[in-house]
Each structure stands twice: as structure tokens, then as C-alpha cells.
Structure 1
Amino acid sequence: MSHCTTPAPVRIASEPLRVTNLLLTGTELSALLERAVASEQWCDAFLVSAGMLQLADDRLHPDPFQLRRAASYLRKRASWGGKAAGLGAAALAGAFDVRQWDRCAQRLRAASSVLADLTSLLASTLLRPAPITPESSELGVLVAEAVAAAPLLGADVARIPACFGDFDLHPDDVRALAGKLHQLPEVTRGPVCVVGVRTSGSYLAPLLAAALRHLGVSDVRILTHRPTHPFLSWEGQTLRRTARAGGKVIVIDDPPATGTALATTLKAIAATGVPHDATALALPLFTDEAALPAPLTSYAGAFLPWRQWSVHDRLAEDAVSGTLSELLGADWSVDRCVRRKEDAATTGARDHVRGRYTAQLTRRSTGEAQQRELVVEGAGLGYLGEHALAVAEPLRDYVPRVYGVVAGLLYRDWLPGPPSAADEMGLSAAITAYVTHRQQALPADTDCTPRMRGREPVWELAAELLSRPLGWASPAIRGLLEPTTRRLLTPSRLSVVDGATTPSRWFGDPAEPGRSRKVDFYQGATGHWALPCYDAVFDLAGAACEPVSPGFADLLRERYEALTGERPDEERWLLYRIAQLWRLGRSGDLEPHAVDRHSAAAVHDFLAACYLDDLRAPTGPVCAVDLDGVLETDRLGYPCTTPVGMMALRALAAHGYRVVLATGRGLDDARDRCQALRLSGAVVEYGAAVYLHEDGTTIDLRDRQEQALLDDVRSQLMRRGVPVLPTHVYTVRARLHGGPLPPDLVAEIPLLSDPRLRLVHGQGQTDVTAARLDKSTGLTHLTQSLHADGIAFAIGDTAADVTMLRAASVARAPRNADDVVRAAGVPLTRRSYQWGLADACAAVLGHRPGRCPVCRVPALPARTRDLLALLGLSEPGVSTLPLQAARVAVRALRPEAPGADPRRLRGRLLLRG
């Protein structure tokens, strides 16, 4: 067993590559490779070479027709039909997967071998104290062969590795893992095969192999694996030979969250015949202990806890002080640099680390003393981090002062806090100015997102979100939706987007009071939460996802139009908003209830623009409509209406009826609907309060005794740890384990049996309200406030609606109504949900909504009709699905441009993958 002294830290070469667009093809990477090697930028050369290796390995493991991705999705479904469909998709993918035998695959394998050798050499060069020179014959030959092989990589776009792009790992950390592995006897007495889980594994595995070789392990091989794909036959042979020779298969990846991807790779290794005890892990962790997710606990290996990551050494006060001194230049001295203690985290997060520092500076030429507040934050290794400087320079008037990037850390000024939320005019001006300037300053030559299917470009995510109502069949239907969403989201002008533009990311500048600057100006476009896109309107829509006022989204669009002469069309505006909101929810930047609320508002804004903009405010009889199960369903993942529901509202309004809501939901939801759908008012929380939209007033119908009772109920539930939803103010909405309160808990609280209170048990919650109040009493107050003579028409579907239905001149219930409504003798419509609402409107108006000159919908552009067809998939009812799917398919096959051949487009639909 060989031993070595502690190696010197890896030094990252100065003046690395700087590119504004990190989504690069193999040919583009090969050009960067030549530049990096010529200038001895070994870190960048390694990163670029590893990116090309990832492209080659992915092409060697194709996913025909996206069948493997569909199989992975379907196998996670709870239904037996979904699991069976997943097994079928995986089998079909295996039948199609014959590329490893053809001539092109042989050339690809040769190219992959060259890239693997080059990446290994560059990894070794990066880790060893004395790097080789560009004139090295071996290096020169490998670089030339890699550049020549670049066309074989096709037009695919390399993935950004989370390890060096999104997290703050460093080659020193991989070397530390190698040192821990080297202490295991089985690693030093036999061959080793390092398996990197792609994408990060394409970068980590060569570094780990090089570090092990430096420690004296002579026989080290490298493979990579994407969890959704099986190993090729020759890869399985390599794994088996390693195990039979008494060696070790070592799997390396990013710090695990759930461990699912790693467990899938370990299962695939075992399927090749490698015993469990011949497999080990090499993992950095985001915890301070070697605590692994449950699927990984049975495996031994080497682990690097969060506190042992080398980034903490680079964030130490002395290290920051020395680096800052170099960045400021010879005229400045750093007298003192102190890190704020509250920035010291005990565990890591799946994001970049950052620290705030106070630096005392002296200018040598004048003796001037200054104090500066700084932020040092992870930006990415090599050219992945230098991307921040490439972006910051043309945006310097809109972002904090940036000093530089050193060893993956960006140094910039700290900004004291966000601007006032009340200053919506100033904030909207700052955001639109930034978005439009970025569009001009960071143009892009090509839109590579059509080649990124399977990686959630924004058009693909939009299709996925709109296909949600189809359940396990959504992967099949999504293929029909994608051509339409891609066409709808084609930008008029290409630029490198920010990707994270919510108002909370704008901060005031103390040097220029009243001015806002953008932080996180480089991470959002390519990070692990990014949605690839090249449209500045995407950034504008992102700013509308966290509105500071009800009219903030409209204000952004108006200012953007004033600056560019282009008003974002309704279709792009909707799809970008729901995609951005989904991203904010997945990343945890926005609470789930806020994501649902703003997503519904985006859908309603679009539908209202289609169906209501040409109508005057009605002044006739009042119609009461229930929300859940009637006007809205949650098949998109959040409650909202559909084109059919909006058509019914249009018909009623066009014929003079004033529509009001009667719902158990909270005031915010009702106010949003009244604002977006041009409704006259609402009865909220089962009649506990009334909202008048014309003047925005809310009337609390509870007396003081009822208010005190409900406050007491809320307190008792919270003391027992029962989640009480903040959405309800006039009643108490509580849920336990995602459902209503269980009977035993209700029995434990005597107050819930008080006859002055009433419990309404729903599917996902229990509402506690005043027994005296219901939707009928609320509508009485509302109609009086509207100076209307009673309720002309009402529709509802649950027991809470019965009193309202009995009080109406005409009452209907949709086919999905519960047993209590049926027993009350309320006439049922022929169909359910929004289709049932349309049937009920026909009974009131004497014709189907939209079938007369008064309520007929004006001619809509083809783009608008396309998106309405996609939204129509969320309308419940099996009988309507074939028709809706057929409409989507026909529109998907429409030529994308004048003169396009529909037959060629149809071929692209069938062969895409």
C-alpha cells in the first residue's frame, strides 16, 4: 500500500473561459476545448472534455421515442394500469434499442473512448502539482481526435453538472474522497471500476479515478450510468470482470436527497452480476454525519460530510481577506474582514453556499478608509462560474458591484434589503428596464431548446402541466401537445434569460436611494431548477408570479410594451406564468397554496381575455354559482375553471345576468375570481361573510358570540397540533393528514359539539362555521346589497348548497352532485362539472351557451384556439376526451409555417426522441 503526503490544493488557472450561454453543443464545446488547452486553463479543459464525454455516453444509450422516460414515470404510478404501461414502454424501448450494434454506434464508442482518455488525462493534470504543457504529444493527439469526433455528438446540448454548477464541490473534495477510499483494503488489493451517475458522474468519476491512481491504485476503469437506461453489454462485462478479480465497483454522484437515482444505478449494477459486497459508494453529503437515505444504508464506502467540504476553507475570513485584496488591486489594502456569525450554517442546502462579510479597507494612494459589506457566494467551477462575470459586465447598471470569481466563489457587494412593496411603480419600472436591457445585451444566436426534449425546456413543461388531467395516459398525450406548446412559445427575439425574476430578488442600493438592483442574476437560467428558454417574456412572466398588487402583472406588460413596442401575447403570458409558478413551487421559493392561487389567476386571466373582454358589466338578475365541482375542478393540480365553464359565464353575462359565487372557500380565492372573471360578488366561507366586488367591501355576518366561539375552536385545534389553514378567516378550516378531522379527535373537543357551531366535512378538510349562517343567508345579504330581487338561478352540488338551491327561482345540480342534493329533488343536468354548468345555463337561457348572436364568442386567433383546445383537456368527462384529443392532434399536425409540408411534420412527431 502506497502512502503520500497531503497534496497541495488544486489551483484554478487565471483568466478562464467566459461565455454568456452555457447550453452548448458538442461542436461548440470542442472549440472551447482548443482554447482552454492552448491557454493552459486545465480546469476549463477538463470541464469541457467531461461535457463532451457526457454527450457521447448519452448518445450511446439512446431513449427511442422517449420510451424509457415514459416507463420511469409510469412505473411510479399507483394504479396497476400505469405500472403495466410502464413495463410495456420499457420492453418496447429495449426492442428498439439496437444502436449499439450498428456502424454509427461503433464510431460513437470509439469517440467515447477517446473522450474518456482525454478527460482522464485532464483530470490527472488538474490534480497533480505540476501540470503538463499543451505541447505534450499525448495531449495534442487526444485533443485533435476529440475535436474531430465532435460532429458525431450531433446537435444535443450538454447538461450542466450539479456538482460543479449548482453545488460548491471542488476537485479537492474528490481528492479527499479518494483518500478515504484508499483506506479501505479492498480498494488497494484489486481492480477498481468507478461508476459515475450521469450527469455529475461524467465529471466526478474521472476525477476520483485520477486521484486513486495518484494514490497508487493502478487498475482503475471508468463507466457512467443514467438511471433510466440499462448498461450496455460491454459495460456489464467490465463490471463483472472487476468483481470476479476481487475488485470494487465504486459509485459516485452528487450528495443524495432521496437516494432514488443512486439506488436505481446500484440495482442496475447488481443486475449485471456484481455482488452486493463488491459495490461501495463515494459520496459528498449535505449533512454533518454520514447519514444516508434509506435506500443506501446497506452500502459501505467513503463519505464527505458537509463540514469537510473545502469550500469552508475558502470562506474563512483570512482566505476571503486575501482573495479580496488580490481582486481590489495594489492600491487597496484589506485591514480586516469579518464574517457575520448568523451566516454560518451547520448543514448544507441543495444550493450554493454564501456568506456576508464586513471589510475594512484603506486606499494606499490617498489614505482613505472605507467599510464595505460583501457577499461571497458559490458561482460554479471554472467557466461555469465565470459565466457570472460574463453576464454581470453588460448588466453592470442593474446588478450589484461584482469584484470577481475565484475558485468557484463570486465576490459582490451586499445590498441591504428589498424595495418597498408599496412602490409598485418603481419596482415594475426597474424590472422591465432590466428585462429589456438584458434582452439587448445578451442576445443568443440559436434556440437550442427544441433539442432538449426530456430535460424540461419550458415548452415541454407547459405540455406536461396541461396533460396532467389525463393521469397515467399523460405521457402518450403529451407528445401531441408538445408541437403546439413549442409553436406557441417560439420567441420573437432570442436572448439569454435570467430565469429567476420574482420581486423578492430586487434589492435597494444604499449608494443610490430609490434604485433597485437584481441579485441572483446568473443562477436561474441554467441551475438545477432552471427551465431552458430564450425568451425575455419568460423573465417578465416570472416577475408577475409574486405580484406586489392585484394589477402588478398588467403593469409589467404595459411597461414592457412601452419600452419594446411589443405586447406579450396572451398565450405566451399564460404558459410562462404557470411554468414559472411550477418552478417556484418545486424549488420551495413559494408556498404551495400561493402557487395554486397564482396559477389559477393566470388561467383565469387568459380565459377572461378570450371570453369576457368585449362584454359590458351586466345589471340584471342574480345567478349564484358554486365553485368546487361546478365552476371549477382541480384537474390541472389547482382549482380553476375551463373553457366550457367560461363560456357558461359569458353566456349569462351577455344576457344580462349578474353572476355571484357561493362557496366554502376563503375571501382571497373569491376576490381573485371576482376580479378575473368580472363577477359581482361572493358569499364566502359557507355564508360567514359577503364580498362586494364593485367597492371591494367585505361584510362579516357573524355576531360577536360566534366570532369568539370560532376563535376558541381555532386555538384549541392549534394547541393539539392540528394544521389550521390561514386561508379562512371567518370560519375555521382544519385538516389532518391531508383529510378531514377524524371522529375521535372531534369527540375530544367538546366545543365542536356546541349547537351554535356546524361542521362541514369535505374530502380534504373540515370546516367549522356558525350554525346560524349558510349560503342562503349570505345570498340574502348579498342580493340586498346589489339591490336585486332574490336569486334568479342557482347551481350547486353538495349538501351545503341545498338551502341556496331551494331559495332560487330556478335550481339545477350537475350530474356529479352528492346524495343529499339528489334526495332534495333538485333537477340534475345531463353532464357533470363545467359541462353540467353549461347544461344548466341552457335551461335558463333556452339555448346552449354561445349559440346565439348575443353570447356568441368573437373570432379568436388560431394561436388562441390552439391553447383553448389544450385547456379543454382539463374538462372532466370521459365522453369529451376523445373529441378534445382529436382536436389537439389535428392542431399539432398543422404546418408550423407557411409552405411547410404536413407530412414531414407528421414524421417528426412519430420519430421524435
Structure 2
Amino acid sequence: MVPDLCAGVAELHRGLLDASVRGDALDAYLFAAGIVQVCEDRLNGTPWLLSRAAQQLEDTAARPLVRLVLNSAVATAGLTPASRCLRSWLSVVRQLTDALASAVTAGSYGTAHRGAFTGRVSTLLERLGTEGPEPAAALLEGSTLRSPSCFRSFDQHPRDVLELVARFIDRYPDRSRRLMVIGLRTSGSYLAPLTGAALRAEGYARVAVRTTRPAGAGSRADHAELRSALRDGALVLLIDDPPRSGDSLATVAQGLLRTGFPAERVVMLFAAFDDRPVPAPIAAHPSVVLPPGDWYIRERLRKQGLHRTLAALLPDHEVLGLSAAEPGHPSRWSHLEVPFTVLAHTDRGDREMHLVAQGAGTGYFGRHSLAAARALDGLVPQVHGFHDGVLLWERQPAEPGRSSDPVPTELVPAADVLRYVIERRERLPLNEDRSPLLTGRQPVWEVGARLFAHRCGRLAAPLRPLLIDPLLRELLRTSSASLADGHMVFGRWWHGPEGWTKTDFDDGHFSHLDLAEYDAAYDLAGATQALPEHEDQLLADYERLTGTRVPAARWCVYGAALGWNAERLLCSGAGTGMDEAAARRARSRAVQRYLAGLYLGDLDDVTFAASSAPPSQAWCVLDVDGVLESDLFGVAAPSPTGMLALRGLRAHGYQVLLATGRPVPEVRDRCRVYGLLGGVAEYGAVVYDAERDHCAPLVTGHGRSALARVLSGLPSVTLDSQYRVCLRACRGCGAGRTALDARTVRQVSGGQEAVGFTAVQGETQTDFVPVGVDKWTGLEALLERLGAPPGTRPVLAVGDSATDIPLLRRARYGCAPGNAAPAVRAAGLPVLRRPYQVGLADAVGRLLGHVPGSCPVCCAPALSPADAALTALLAVSEAGWAGMPGRLARFARARAAMAGSSGTDGPAAAAPAPGAAAVGPQRRS
């Protein structure tokens, strides 16, 4: 069985003892450092709410009080007998870690060194014993390792630490000076002891090593050590992963400054992914930096290093010739790799081999990839072995007319992707689903909790640990745990003589990119984001072939989390092959499909049978944002009441159209999922006919290109590529997206290029709309295309913004929910008392003569306990702040009802029950 790297202390202890028997100093060190990391996190950890409060109040006047509370909580927790026992045992592990670090920095970092350890290491191993601290077993229950990014994902090596120390010595040669090395956990738990050992080996006699978390509290002993170091004029060396923003290092440095250390005595040590200047938050401190060109992995991937790897892994191959390009620089987003060609002589004659040498991690973290590859034989490229941080595998040679580069998942046949997901599930089983234990590490359930908690507004923080986190943990818990791939959306594949193989098969799990999940259905959800047209078939085939049912609520959370992750990676600078707008669409579409499956999936097509020219009174037109849908962590997503209102209209024979400022791809998504005939997009500039899947711009030749050039030239401004006539501009990305400021809008609008455009300001974007375009003219054109008689007016139109006014005035009954913009009220249009989706339901109720979902024709479907709980969470904000207490009470009741039911996956159902979540696109009339 391939091991779970999220190991507990008992497993790490066994690994330490096994490595000691083998005489493998590097693995023994990694296991020992892992034990220290887990134990220190447990001993110095603080409750979730206190940690969150510390982060929120870090820069406020309440910071000293919060810090006092945190330190007091840690000190109090350390007084228990179990804590004292654990600290005593941990002191031996720390000493052993330092001794093993000395062995590693002395050169024991290649393959296993045979023979038992002697000297101090052997003595400490005897003191440590073969069993962990039994009185502390309950204290450590549920505590698991955090894989260090440095030695798992970033291709760092102990030799990089030696190089950093050498550069430090050049600047600070005084061996008599006291040094205090502080590693920022998690990677600092591994880097700091190696740094301390290397400094001692170079003659620095007074070196202490500690670790910390940026927002965590320290022990009393750590504070005493700091005060002593301050009095002695010591230097503090902070070491961590390659920084991106520098905020973590800056947070710890600020704590040291408050203690009394001057900035010049706090030295930063880190490797860098690029040659950019030191990040601004730590620029005031001296820094010792290992540039990307000098990382040890580059030496391992040059020709001489490749020869050493071939000699170690293919000793029966005599290398006659080797052709390889110069390796690039290490990357935050993927392991460094070099394709190369070898001409080798073997017993069977000369052979040309096409190979790839790829960084895979250090020690047992890297050999995890080798173990996974062997278990996945036939699904991944042939792997020849692992040596000193490098995985060696065969690649497909270039063919005439075809690139030898791997292709993304979207170009792979759906059947081959499904085969990979299912066979991986079967070949890489795990004993348990440990994702519920990974709080704070962004497992999928935690990301889902953050996304869906957004509907609770400012109450999200206190509600998450009480209600929302437990709900999502239970919802995503699987009874068939396996080692998920986690890298399916942007996966890399090769097609060879034996079929399709996946090259990045061990990069997505236990990595710095988080989103850990133990359910193979999560991989399937990732694949469907790359192959959206195959989603229904892939899910049905997966359930049939595995005999398990994927709950619709879980599928929804997976889709939303995957879309969020794609957007996060894009905003962080990772190349993903997907633009930001597509990632936001994926998030929104996951919720649309889920709620549409619940509330619209059981409707009979006969109810909506319509002639080619429906009666004029059958048409209803709805705005999207703030009416049919509301915000869900930066994207528009439907709510249960909005879907009930739509269900009421459809069940009673009304034809519903959309009228929105959103682009055609988003209108198309909603028409397909909600079963609508079409919609008006881009404020009326484009119309979409869902029956024919055809869109038509109503405005041409209006100088859009010139205005686009102006907007694109503004600093940090991006344009939404989905728009065809209008222009949508924003600054930033992800949760940081903002509209253009008023000054910029005035400058742009005053230019010659903007003549003929009107600026429409939103909360997160600024739209430039051609003059003369409005939703009513767009609706007239759409109705004509759909065969409505001339002069047809919708019987109901609901919108909330100034751009909806022309449409609302011409409808037989046009109104706005209570969240209507001031311009709508000033226009004298009817504004309902209640806001958002509840206001929409009121408007639909006036048309139907009853509350949507309350009559036998449109009655609300029955929901499972899990669906009732998740929909109640999604419904919290749909009635505005005034209605939130009642919605929260409803959510709490639904959560309590679900607590007694199972949220795990079960046997696949032959067919969905009425009202069950059908995750496929809904049928249209």
C-alpha cells in the first residue's frame, strides 16, 4: 500500500526506526523532524477561534491582549500531565533530530547508508525507545504531518541549506557570535535543524534552533531563550520556503522587533524562485538568498548529474551518448524536469532511450512518487527509479507532425480519463479518510466551507466551527478512501503505443497547493471541468462501474472548490490553461446544476410544451444578479428561493427569459441548466437563442477595438474575454477584484476612443456599453427570433438596477425586489418590500396567485437531509439582513437533522428518485 504522507506520530516513529535500521540518515532525519513538527503544532496550537481572532486583530490596539490570551492558552494547556509527558519525550526527539541533521549535512543524503547508527544517534535512539509517549497518545490523536513544501514540492535539497550557510558565513564570519535559527513551520521544522548543524560544523559554537508558526504562540522556554539572545547581542536567522509575498517572514520579524531586536539583527535566509528583489515586507532586514540558478536540483539535471542518475538506476546500461538541454529554473508550480536522449549499450545491443529526469522531492517524500508509479503501472509512464531527489522515467519520442510535449486533460478521450480515475481508486486504497483532520491546510471540505459560508456575511467566522465546517466535513467524508490525484483539471498526458498515460500522477496530493481529498470522485469532478460536455456520462459511468453513488451535494462542493482553486492559481501566476472568467463560470455552474437538479429536475416536459409562437402572456423576463442569483464568494450563484420561483413559473407554463449584463457564455450556461429558451446578454447588445444555440450581436462597428486598447493599457486592468460587444474591465483578480475607480472612468470616458459608450459601474467591475443599447431593445429582438407576435410584452419582468428600467416600464407588470438601486425607485417603478430572491418569489407569487412551491402543480420537491442542510446554508442571505436570523435558524435545524444521517457515499442508485439532485443539464421545452 502506498503510504499516506499525512501520517500521525506513531507512523512517523515507525518510519524513524525503520530508517535507522537501514542506516538511512536522510530518511531518519525527515521522520524525526516530522515528529517534532507534529508535536510542536499540537503543544503550541491554539483553538481555531483564538487563532482567527489573532489574525483579524494583528494590526489593532487589541493585539497585546489577544497575544496575552494566546500565550496564556498555550501555557495552561502545557500544564497537563499528558503535555508534560509529551514535552519530555519531544526533548529527546529534538536532540535526535539535531544529531541526524549533523549526519545529513556531513554528506549522508544520497541513497541509504547501510549499517546501524553509532555514537550519539544510537544513544538517543535507545532513549527514545520503540514506543511513543503512551500518556500523550490521546493528546496526539488526530494530529498529522504537514508535508514540507521545501522537500516535497519545491525540489529543495539539504545541499541548498549548505549553500545558504556558506553565503551567510561570507557576510557574518564571526564564529563567536551567538546565533538563533528560527524555522517557520512547516518547512522550517526541516530547514532550521539542518542550518543549525551546518553552522556548528563551520565552527559556530553557540547556535540554538527553534521553530514557530507566524500566527502562533510560543512556549515560555522560547520566550526566555529570545530574551537571553537579545541580551547577548545574538543574530536571529529566520528560514523558510521561497517567499512569495514575504508576509509570513515579516510577521515573525515584527514579533522579534517588538521583543527588542533591531532590524539589522534579524536575518532572512531563503532560496528564491526568481531574481526579483527581496519582497517589500522584509526588505528592511538583511537577507541571504540562494538564487534560482544555484539550486542543487539544477546540478542534478545537468549532463554530469544525469550520468550519475543513470549509473545508479540503470547500471547495466553503458552510456555512449547523452543529449540534454540546460535545465530551467525551479518553479513554485511544478517540479523541475529535463527531457533528454541517451544512446546506451546493453547486453541486447545499442538502444536509444527517450527519458525525463524530474525533481520529485527529498528522501521518502520523493520515493512516494516511485511507489505510486509502480502501483499505477500502465497508467503512468514507465519509471526506472528514484535517486537523490530525481525521478527517472521514459517519455514518448516525438512523432512527425506531433509534439512530444504532454497534452492537457481536455484533449484526452473521456473513456481513458475515466479508466485512469477508477483504476487509480482501486490500486491506491488507503485505510481511512484523513481529510477531516486537516483543518487549516485547505482540504476540499475547508475550501467548500469558506465558499458557502460567504452566504452568512459577517457571521461566517463564528458559524464556521459551530455549524458550517462540521456540515462540510460530513458531506465530503468518503467510506472508500484512496490516494487521489488532485491534479486532473490541468493534468498532463501522453499517448503512446499502450494508450494514454498521465505524467503528473503524484504532484497534486500532499503538496503546497493544498485541497487534499481522499475521494476518487473529486478527481472525476476535476476531469469533468476539463471535459464539461462529458460530465453527465462520466458521472453515470463512474457510479455504474464503481457501484457507489456520488451525492449531488458533494458533487456541487467539488465543482465549486475546483473552480475556486483554478481562479486562485491564476491569480497567483500559475499557468493553468484556463482564464479567470472560465474559472468563475465553473464555480457558478456547479451551484446552478446542483440547485436546478433539485428544484427543476423532476418537472415533466409536457407541462412546458409550447407552440412555435407561444401566447404573449406566457413570457416572463428576469435579471440575474441580485434577482435570480446572488453573490457566493465573488461569483453569481442561484439560491433555493430563486429556484423555487423559477420552478413556479415553469410549472405553470410560463416561458422564462433572462435579461442581464453578463456575457453570452454565462447566459448559455443558465439557459441549458434552467431549461430556458434564451436570454439577452451584455445589457441587450447580444441575444441568445437556446433552441438553436445561436447568439447574435445587435450592434456592430462601434469602435470597440480602440476602447479595448485604451483599457488594456491601464495599469493592472484586465478585460473579460467573454464579452463580444460591451467591455468589462476590472482591477485585480479573485476575491480582490474591484471596479475601476471614478477618476479612471472619467478619464477613459472623456477620451475619443470612448465616444459612443456609457460606463456602468458595478461592485467588482466597470462595463462600457454602447449608447442606445438597452435590455428592452434586446428583448424585442429575441422575442422576434423566438417567433413571438409583433408587439409582444412580457407579463412579468423583475430587475434591480438602472439598466433594467426600460424593460420594467414596458412589461405588463415590471417590478424590483427590495434591494433595487435608487434609480429604479426614482423612476417610480414598483419596488417590493423584501429583497433579492425572496422579493423575486413575492413578484412571482403575485403573478401565480400563491407562494411559489405551495400548490400541487409547483410544490417544492422533497430533499434528503444532506441537500436540505446545504440548501438551507445557500438560502441564508436570500432575504437580506432582516431575514437572516430566520434563515440561520432554519439552517441550524437542517444541520441538526443531517447530523443523525450518513453523508458518506453509498451504493449507486439505479435511477434518481423524484426531487433528487440530477446533476446533468435540464431539458428544455
What's the TM-score once normalised by structure 2's chain length? Answer: 0.88
Residues in 1 aligned to 2:674 and 2:64: alpha-carbon distance in whole angstroms:
44
Query: Residue by residue, what CA displacement relative to the aligned partner does 1:263-283 show, whole Å, maximum 9, x if unpaired?
Result: 111222334444444332222
Alignment of 1:798 onto 2:801: yes
Alignment of 1:875 onto 2:878: yes
Residues in 1 aligned to 2:702 and 2:209: alpha-carbon distance in whole angstroms:
69
Structural mapping, 1:278-677, within 5 Å: 278-288=265-275, 291-330=277-316, 332-340=317-325, 344-345=328-329, 348-372=330-354, 374-415=355-396, 416-417=404-405, 427-479=413-465, 480-502=467-489, 504-512=490-498, 515-547=499-531, 549=532, 551-588=533-570, 589=576, 590-617=578-605, 618=608, 619=610, 621-677=618-674
Is this contact kept in 2: 1:186–1:247, CA < 8 A?
no
Q: Deviation of residue 751 (structure 1)?
A: 4.5
**Counterpart residue number, 2:696:** 699
User: How many residues in Structure 1 have an aligned counterpart in Structure 2?
Assistant: 859
Residues in 2 aligned to 1:257 and 1:422: alpha-carbon distance in whole angstroms:
30
Query: Residue by residue, what CA displacement relative to the aligned partner does 1:838-890 show, whole Å, maximum 9, x if unpaired?
Result: 11111111111111111111211111111111212342511222122223333
Residues in 2 aligned to 1:122 and 1:609: alpha-carbon distance in whole angstroms:
57
Structural mapping, 1:214-293, within 5 Å: 214-288=201-275, 291-293=277-279
SS of residue paired to 1:517: strand
**Counterpart residue number, 2:720:** 725
Query: Residue by residue, what CA displacement relative to the aligned partner does 1:745-764 show, whole Å, maximum 9, x if unpaired?
Result: 2354225334xx55444444
Amino acid of the residue matched to residue 608 of structure 1? A
Q: Deviation of residue 43 (structure 1)?
A: 0.7
Q: Deviation of residue 447 (structure 1)?
A: 2.1
Query: Residue by residue, what CA displacement relative to the aligned partner does 1:183-210 show, whole Å, maximum 9, x if unpaired?
Result: 3447512322211111111111111111
Is this contact kept in 2: 1:193–1:242, CA < 8 A?
yes
Residues in 1 aligned to 2:289 and 2:861: alpha-carbon distance in whole angstroms:
64
Is this contact kept in 1: 2:410–2:530, CA < 8 A?
no
**Counterpart residue number, 2:144:** 157
Greater CA drift, 729-738 or 173-182 = 729-738
Is this contact kept in 1: 2:562–2:587, CA < 8 A?
no
Q: Deviation of residue 800 (structure 1)?
A: 1.6
Q: Deviation of residue 810 (structure 1)?
A: 1.2
Greater CA drift, 650-659 or 681-690 = 681-690
Residues in 2 aligned to 1:201 and 1:743: alpha-carbon distance in whole angstroms:
46
Q: Classify 1:557/1:370 alpha carbon distance in 2 versus 1 (closer, same or farther; 3 Å).
A: same
Q: Deviation of residue 529 (structure 1)?
A: 0.8
Is this contact kept in 1: 2:155–2:336, CA < 8 A?
no
Q: Deviation of residue 155 (structure 1)?
A: 3.2
Is this contact kept in 1: 2:799–2:817, CA < 8 A?
yes
Structural mapping, 1:26-105, within 5 Å: 26-64=9-47, 66-75=48-57, 92-97=69-74, 98-105=76-83
Residues in 1 aligned to 2:69 and 2:878: alpha-carbon distance in whole angstroms:
31
Query: Residue by residue, what CA displacement relative to the aligned partner does 1:23-63 show, whole Å, maximum 9, x if unpaired?
Result: 10000111111110001111100000000011121122021
Q: Deviation of residue 828 (structure 1)?
A: 0.9
* Identity in percent: 34
**Counterpart residue number, 1:907:** none
Q: Deviation of residue 87 (structure 1)?
A: 7.9
Is this contact kept in 1: 2:45–2:217, CA < 8 A?
no
Is this contact kept in 2: 1:227–1:262, CA < 8 A?
yes
Residues in 2 aligned to 1:429 and 1:438: alpha-carbon distance in whole angstroms:
14
Residues in 1 aligned to 2:697 and 2:569: alpha-carbon distance in whole angstroms:
37
Greater CA drift, 807-816 or 177-186 = 177-186
Residues in 1 aligned to 2:11 and 2:521: alpha-carbon distance in whole angstroms:
27
SS of residue paired to 2:170: coil
Q: Deviation of residue 182 (structure 1)?
A: 2.7
Residues in 2 aligned to 1:114 and 1:256: alpha-carbon distance in whole angstroms:
31
SS of residue paired to 1:209: helix
Greater CA drift, 103-112 or 491-500 = 103-112
Alignment of 1:828 onto 2:831: yes
**Counterpart residue number, 1:122:** 100
2:178 to 170, 191, 212: 191
Q: Deviation of residue 653 (structure 1)?
A: 0.5
Is this contact kept in 2: 1:481–1:888, CA < 8 A?
no
Is this contact kept in 2: 1:75–1:87, CA < 8 A?
no
Residues in 2 aligned to 1:488 and 1:459: alpha-carbon distance in whole angstroms:
8
Structure 1: 5+ residue stretches without partners: 1-17, 78-82, 901-913
Greater CA drift, 353-362 or 90-99 = 90-99
Q: Deviation of residue 314 (structure 1)?
A: 0.7
Q: Deviation of residue 419 (structure 1)?
A: 5.6
Alignment RMSD: 2.6
Query: Residue by residue, what CA displacement relative to the aligned partner does 1:432-451 show, whole Å, maximum 9, x if unpaired?
Result: 11111111111111222222
Query: Residue by residue, what CA displacement relative to the aligned partner does 1:100-151 show, whole Å, maximum 9, x if unpaired?
Result: 2333322222122111100001111112258895252532342244343354
Is this contact kept in 2: 1:42–1:122, CA < 8 A?
yes
**Counterpart residue number, 1:787:** 787
Residues in 2 aligned to 1:747 and 1:440: alpha-carbon distance in whole angstroms:
60
Residues in 2 aligned to 1:160 and 1:89: alpha-carbon distance in whole angstroms:
29
SS of residue paired to 2:586: helix
Q: Deviation of residue 639 (structure 1)?
A: 1.1
**Counterpart residue number, 1:4:** none
Q: Classify 1:299/1:653 alpha carbon distance in 2 versus 1 (closer, same or farther; 3 Å).
A: same
**Counterpart residue number, 2:400:** none
Q: Deviation of residue 490 (structure 1)?
A: 1.6
Is this contact kept in 1: 2:2–2:428, CA < 8 A?
no
Is this contact kept in 2: 1:793–1:811, CA < 8 A?
yes
SS of residue paired to 2:479: coil
Q: Classify 1:729/1:326 alpha carbon distance in 2 versus 1 (closer, same or farther; 3 Å).
A: same
SS of residue paired to 2:449: helix
Is this contact kept in 2: 1:74–1:472, CA < 8 A?
no
Q: Classify 1:592/1:716 alpha carbon distance in 2 versus 1 (closer, same or farther; 3 Å).
A: closer
Amino acid of the residue matched to residue 15 of structure 2? L
Is this contact kept in 1: 2:451–2:632, CA < 8 A?
no
SS of residue paired to 2:796: strand
**Counterpart residue number, 2:922:** none
1:210 to 191, 197, 201: 197
**Counterpart residue number, 1:750:** 752
Query: Residue by residue, what CA displacement relative to the aligned partner does 1:266-305 show, whole Å, maximum 9, x if unpaired?
Result: 222334444444332222222336x321121222243222
Query: Residue by residue, what CA displacement relative to the aligned partner does 1:213-270 show, whole Å, maximum 9, x if unpaired?
Result: 1111222221111111122221111122223233322221111111111111122233
**Counterpart residue number, 1:10:** none
Residues in 2 aligned to 1:228 and 1:720: alpha-carbon distance in whole angstroms:
37
Amino acid of the residue matched to residue 158 of structure 1? L
Q: Classify 1:895/1:787 alpha carbon distance in 2 versus 1 (closer, same or farther; 3 Å).
A: closer
Is this contact kept in 2: 1:404–1:411, CA < 8 A?
yes
Amino acid of the residue matched to residue 560 of structure 1? Y
Query: Residue by residue, what CA displacement relative to the aligned partner does 1:642-680 show, whole Å, maximum 9, x if unpaired?
Result: 111111111111111111001111111100110111111
Q: Classify 1:187/1:862 alpha carbon distance in 2 versus 1 (closer, same or farther; 3 Å).
A: farther
Residues in 2 aligned to 1:115 and 1:612: alpha-carbon distance in whole angstroms:
59
Query: Residue by residue, what CA displacement relative to the aligned partner does 1:455-495 show, whole Å, maximum 9, x if unpaired?
Result: 22222221121112334432211111111111111213111
Amino acid of the residue matched to residue 436 of structure 1? I
Q: Classify 1:144/1:674 alpha carbon distance in 2 versus 1 (closer, same or farther; 3 Å).
A: farther
Amino acid of the residue matched to residue 354 of structure 1? L
What's the TM-score once normalised by structure 1's chain length? Answer: 0.89
**Counterpart residue number, 1:134:** 116
Amino acid of the residue matched to residue 886 of structure 2? L
Amino acid of the residue matched to residue 172 of structure 1? R
SS of residue paired to 2:701: helix
